[in-house]
Structures are given as structure tokens and as C-alpha cells.
């Protein structure tokens, strides 16, 4: 299973990932939604869980994951930042 974390910005997305089967970890920076849609459709095969903060820039990504049959966990940004060590 692939586990990914996403950080959305107006002009790009930063994605960190862990492939539990191979142990591969890494990051990818995708320049805009069109590039992300092409890349993710080819890159995420099998089951994937994606965790992200609830922001205004993620709706297209939620739609894409649903179309591909992947799971998305949505977090409250205030709670996520409050849980970070100082």
C-alpha cells in the first residue's frame, strides 16, 4: 500500500510518500493540477491512503483520488499544527 502526504499551494503540490511493500520513500513536487493528474494516474497503482489538510486547493485532488478508487483522510489544519512539536 502507498501512503502519501500532500501539501497544496496555489501553483504546485508537494507530495511525500511511503511504499509499504518496497520501503521506498520520497518526495515529488508537481507544478500544477494538470501535471499532477497525469502523474498520479500513472504513479498510484494499487491501494493508496492519502492524508492532507483541509484547504481550498485540494478539491480537485479529492475528486481524482475518488475516481482512481483511493482513500483520503482529511485533517483540520489547526489541530495538525497544534500537534507539531515546538
Q: What counts of helices (H) and strands (E) characterise the chain?
A: 3, 5
In the sheet that 48-53 helps form, which strands lie side by side, from edge to edge? 25-30, 13-19, 2-8, 48-53, 71-75
The whole-angstrom separation of Cα 8 and Cα 70 is 18
Dump pLDDT digits (tens) for 21-53: 899 999 988 776 677 667 666 566 667 777 777
Give me the domains of the chain, ranges plus CATH numbers: 2-83 (3.30.420.110)
pLDDT band at 54 (very low <50, low <70, confident <90, very high): low
pTM over 0.75: no
What percent of the chain has a predicted confidence (pLDDT) above 90?
3
Amino acid at each position: 500500500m502507498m501512503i502519501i502526504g500532500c501539501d497544496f499551494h496555489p501553483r504546485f503540490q508537494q507530495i511525500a510518500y511511503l511504499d509499504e511493500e518496497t520501503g521506498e520513500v520520497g518526495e515529488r513536487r508537481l507544478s500544477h493540477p494538470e501535471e499532477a493528474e497525469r502523474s498520479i494516474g500513472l504513479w498510484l497503482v494499487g491501494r493508496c491512503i492519502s492524508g492532507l489538510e483541509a484547504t481550498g486547493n485540494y478539491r480537485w485532488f479529492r475528486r481524482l483520488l475518488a475516481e482512481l478508487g483511493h482513500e483520503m483522510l482529511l485533517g483540520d489544519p489547526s489541530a495538525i499544527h497544534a500537534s507539531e512539536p515546538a
